[in-house]
Structure formats: C-alpha cells, structure tokens
Structure 1
Amino acid sequence: MCHVIVTCRSMLWTLLSIVAAFSELIAFMSTDWLVGFPRTPDAVFSPQGATAAGEAYRPTLGIYGRCIRLPHLRRGVLCGPYAVHFGEIASGFWQATSIFLAAGILLLSAVAFISVFTMCFQSIMKKSIFNVCGLLQAIAGLFLILGLMLYPAGWGSDKVQGYCGPDASPYQLGLCSMGWAFYTALGGTVLTFICAVFSAQAEIATSSDKVQEEIEEGKSLICLL
C-alpha cells in the first residue's frame, strides 16, 4: 500500500531542492556573468546622413553568450551565444567551468524531479531516498564549487579583455564588474549544500514514531507538522 507522507521538513527540502536547481540553471544560461565597461555605439551612416552615436551602455558577457548594443537595430540590444561550438567558448577554463556546472545542474535537476515523488516513495533499493538525494546534492555542490573557482581563471582571455579592457587577467576583473548571474550561481551553490544537510532532517521527519503510528492506524495520507 502506498502511503503519502507529508511533513513540513520534507516539503521544505523539496521546495529548496527545486529552487537550487532552477537558480543554477538560470545563472548558467544567463549572459550577465560579467558587466563590461561603459561604451558608446558608433554613429550610423545612411543615405539620409549620419546619425549621432547612441548613449553609453555596458555590454554583458556570459560563459557562452553575450549582450551587445548595435545602433542599426531597432530593439537596441542583441543577446545570444557567441560560441556556436563548445571549442569556441572564450577559454579552456570556461570550458571546464561549463562542464562542471552542467554536471552539477544535471544532478540537481534529477534530485528536484525525484523530490516531488518523495511523498509517496521514501526508499529506493532499500536505501533512504532522502539520504541518496542528499549525497547527490553534495556531489553536485562540489562540481559547482569547482566550476565557480575555475571561472575567474578565464578572465585573461581575449574575449574578456574585449569587454573588460587590457588590464583584465586571471582573477583580475579589469574594468568589468560581476553580474547578477555569478551571485545567483554562488547562492545556488550555498543552497545546494544546505539542501544536502537538510535532507537528513527530511528523512527523520518522514520516519518518525508519529508517522509509524499513523501507518499502523491504517491511514494512507499522513500530514504532520
């Protein structure tokens, strides 16, 4: 018989696991890892004459994408991948960052998917599903840390110097500033380790004496604070 067990701690762990996975995915896909130095688009020349250069803006650069402003575009900002193939990513360090972040996100996504079903299934192959997921989250967190540590090592690439000036070098930003995507990835990494630790509390909550008493009474839906 399938018992649906819902507790505050297990639901909180599920919610945080989903948030951690989404935050890392959104950060990885974003172009706002680095914010370049202010610049002004060049003047546009047309048969009607030259138009004045646009107002200053700051382009952004992600791991594999970028946002720039082109004066001849009506919408102004053009965002998209600058790297069509994996080998075109700005530096080898960023390629390694992509691999580690992608591995971490894959594990977090799997855990987020599984966490939705922990209300009905609390074990897998005679192992606590919460403990297994917590272990996967810890491994994902290590991948994410490695990716974030390698990311600044790629700041010396030609691509980054085009956005941050010639003074940009490994672990030196030059004229750039960090964008929200980096901080989102960092926060998601911290949340990942919190989820890994909190999974033990979710396991305790769903296997407590109160839960066992409810099961012995024949209840199939068990909701506890």
Structure 2
Amino acid sequence: MCYVIVTSRSLCWTLLSLLAFTAVLSAVITPRWLVGPPRRTNTANNGTEHYSPTVGIYNRCTWLYGHKHCGNFNVEGFATDPSVFPACWKAALVFMALGLVVMGTTIVAALLGCCVQSVGRKSIFNLAGLAQGVAGVIYLLGMILYLAGWGAERVQRICGAEADAFYLADCSLGWAFYSAVCGILLTFVCAILSGQAEKSTAGNKVQDKVNEGKSLICLV
C-alpha cells in the first residue's frame, strides 16, 4: 500500500530546496554578477545618458547603437576565445550547471519522498541530503573559479586594468552574485534539514496513523 506522508518539516525542506535551486539558477542566467562604473553615452536625441555595463558568467549588458543591449558572449560555446569568454568562467559555468543538475535531482527526490520514503533500504531524505551537500561543494568550486577569473581581459575592460583575481577594482557586485551566495548557503541548510525531514516522516505519530489504516497522513 502506498502512503502519502507530509509533515511540516518535510514540506519546509522541500520548499527550501526549491528556493535554493531557483536562487542559483536565476543567478547563473542573469548578467548582473558584476556592475561596472557609470559611463556617459550619446543618445539618439543628441543627449547624454548614464549607464552601467554589467556582466554575468556567460552574458553581458552594454550600450550598443543608442540603447542598452543584453546578450551572450559565449558565441562559440566553450571554444570561444578566452579573451571573450574567460577560461575560469567556462569552468565555473560547468560546475554551477553540474550543481544545478544534482540539486534538481534532490528536488525530484523531495517530491517523491511524499510517497517513497526509502530507496534500497536507504532513506530517500538522507540520500537527498547527501546529494545536496555535494551540490553545495560543487557550487563553491564554481564560485571560486568565477572569482579567480576577475583578472581576465573582459573584466579589466569594464572594471579597470587593476582588476585581478579576487579583486574587482572599480566594479561592484550585482544582485545575481548575492543570489548565488544565498542559494549556496540555503543548499547547505537543506542538506542539514534533510535529517529532520527524515525523522518527522518516520516518527511514532506517523506510525500510529499507518496502524489506523490511513493512506494520506499530514502532520504539523
């Protein structure tokens, strides 16, 4: 018989896992990791306007043909010249994408956890928590590689010639960078909370409901 078990702790863990995944994903696809110093440019009406160029892991926003233009700079994928797509950022993108795949798998496991509490006699929550810890470590490697790429030619064109690995010179960090950091921290929090989710679905209260013959069990 299939039992659907939902507790406040398992639900909280699932929602936090989804939030962590979304925070990192939105950061990766957004060109707001680095924000350059304000610049002046001429507009179509012969006026001047200030704008700040921004750059992400594989995309950027700049001023082109009289208006702001955002797009990818990895035009040839990982074969793109390192002066355009820094080698460290290529590796960072791989690690961040791999972390997202692992984290996405744990979210599927979290949803299945309502009906399937174990896989091969191992708690699905504990397995997912372990995978989330691995995803967090992979994210950290990606972030370190991203910071190491700050000395690349692309960053120096925006932030100044003084920019170097782990030093931004005239640039500032955009909201996407902080979103990635928050997502990574939440990933580690989820890895810890997975144990609480497992305990809440295997407790005496749940067993009492099972003995009563209930197939849908919801506990606060």
- Conserved? CA contact 1:93–1:150, under 8 Å: yes
How big is the shift at 1:69? 2.1
Contiguous gaps of at least 5 residues in structure 1: 45-50
- Conserved? CA contact 1:41–1:71, under 8 Å: no
- The residue matched to 2:69 in structure 1 has which SS? strand
Equivalent of 2:204 in 205, 209, 223:
209
Counterpart of 2:172, as a letter, is S
- Conserved? CA contact 1:40–1:53, under 8 Å: no
Whether 1:63 aligns to 2:57 is: yes
Equivalent of 2:72 in 69, 77, 81:
81
Which one is further off, 121-130 or 197-206?
Answer: 121-130
- Conserved? CA contact 2:53–2:61, under 8 Å: yes
How big is the shift at 1:61? 0.3
Length-normalised TM-score, structure 2: 0.94
Whether 1:158 aligns to 2:137 is: no
How big is the shift at 1:141? 0.2
Question: Within 5 Å, which residues of 2 pair with 1:1-225?
Answer: 1-42=1-42, 51-72=45-66, 76-84=67-75, 85-88=77-80, 90-225=85-220
Length-normalised TM-score, structure 1: 0.92
Counterpart of 1:203, as a letter, is E
How big is the shift at 1:22? 1.0
Rg larger for:
1
Q: How many residues align?
A: 216
Counterpart of 2:10, as a letter, is S
Contiguous gaps of at least 5 residues in structure 2: none
- Conserved? CA contact 1:137–1:196, under 8 Å: yes
Alignment partners' CA distance in 1, 2:102 and 2:43: 48
- Conserved? CA contact 2:42–2:49, under 8 Å: no
Render the CA deviation track for 1:101-134: whole Å, top value 9, x for unaligned: 1111111111112211211111112210000000
Render the CA deviation track for 1:190-223: whole Å, top value 9, x for unaligned: 0000000000000000000111111011110111
How big is the shift at 1:90? 2.5
